[in-house]
């Protein structure tokens, strides 16, 4: 794979030639005026699902939050560290993005841990974090009792996106903007096996090819 530190430094040098020194007007504008992305994406840490790459975006296009299984936690006021909520707040309140996309994907390791993990909460950061999607797990275990594991995982990956969309609405500054039509929430699913991008259709209640 192309990711040893030395290979990454060589990559930076190519990027520098192309974008920083190559009179890239768009990049220079971003440096001088700051970022104004219109879309925030919540994506998974998985190395295969980089939103900027798979959506063919340039620097400045997307405000990206990445965490295990692209989850949005519910709004909480406890004095803990909330990296995802803080980044969400910055994107929505400070940058004023108009769209939030929760971007799930096939073969998600976080969802696999949720369904098959067996590690008790309190003994793993991942198990604790994946508790956000517990409602998705319960629904899938009930509705997909006899389905094979691949189908259950896929259904849970998509159901967890819906949990995150619901959790987004627990943030008052998200809910207000959605109700005022200043912000739109989207649930997308990148099927890395079929090479397709699906979007949740609220009318049909299913994920459909975009």
Q: In 35-98, at which residue ranges do the beta strands (DSSP E only) sit?
A: 39-44, 62-67
Which range binds Zn ion by CB under 5 A, 37-45, 95-103, 174-182, 192-200?
37-45
Q: Is 46 in the site for Zn ion (CB under 5 A)?
A: yes
Q: In terms of CB distance, is 22 or 109 closer to Zn ion? A: 109
Contact between 184 and 178 under an 8 Å Cβ cutoff? The reply is yes
Q: In terms of CB distance, is 97 or 108 closer to Zn ion? A: 108
- Closest approach of Cβ 68 to Zn ion, in Å? 7
Which range binds Zn ion by CB under 5 A, 8-16, 82-90, 103-111, 162-170?
103-111
- Tell me the C-alpha distance between 132 and 148, whole Å: 24
- Tell me the C-alpha distance between 144 and 136, whole Å: 12
Q: Tell me the sheet residues that pair with 105.
A: 190
Q: Is 44 in the site for Zn ion (CB under 5 A)?
A: yes
Using CB under 5 A as the binding criterion, the count of chain residues that bind Zn ion stands at 3
- Closest approach of Cβ 72 to Zn ion, in Å? 14
- Closest approach of Cβ 34 to Zn ion, in Å? 30
Compute the radius of gyration of the chain from its Cα atoms.
18
- Closest approach of Cβ 46 to Zn ion, in Å? 4
Tokens at residue 27, please? Answer: 């990049």
- Closest approach of Cβ 195 to Zn ion, in Å? 17
- Tell me the C-alpha distance between 161 and 207, whole Å: 11
Which range binds Zn ion by CB under 5 A, 11-19, 20-28, 108-116, 189-197?
108-116
SS3 track for 134-179: HHHHHHHHHHCCCCCHHHHHHHHHHHHHHHHHHHHCCCHHHHHHHH
Q: Is 156 in the site for Zn ion (CB under 5 A)?
A: no
Binding site for Zn ion (CB under 5 A): 44, 46, 108
């Amino acid at each position: 794979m192309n990711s040893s530190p030395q290979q990454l430094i060589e990559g930076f040098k190519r990027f520098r030639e192309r974008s920083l020194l190559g009179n890239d007007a768009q990049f220079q504008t971003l440096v001088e005026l700051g970022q104004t992305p219109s879309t925030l994406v919540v994506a998974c840490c998985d190395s295969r699902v980089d939103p900027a790459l798979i959506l063919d975006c340039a620097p400045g296009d997307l405000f990206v939050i990445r965490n295990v299984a692209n989850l949005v936690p519910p709004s909480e006021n406890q004095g803990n560290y909330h990296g995802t909520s803080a980044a969400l707040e910055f994107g929505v309140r400070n940058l004023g993005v108009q769209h939030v996309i929760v971007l799930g994907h096939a073969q998600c390791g976080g969802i696999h841990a949720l369904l098959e993990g067996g590690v008790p909460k309190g003994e793993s950061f991942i198990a604790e974090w994946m508790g956000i999607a517990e409602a998705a797990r319960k629904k899938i275990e009930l509705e997909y009792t006899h389905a094979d594991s691949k189908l259950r995982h896929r259904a849970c990956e998509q159901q967890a996106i819906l949990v995150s969309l619901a959790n987004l609405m627990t943030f008052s500054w998200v809910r207000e903007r959605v109700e005022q039509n200043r912000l739109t929430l989207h649930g997308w699913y990148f099927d890395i096996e079929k090479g397709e991008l699906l979007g949740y259709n609220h009318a049909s209640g299913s994920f459909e090819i975009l």
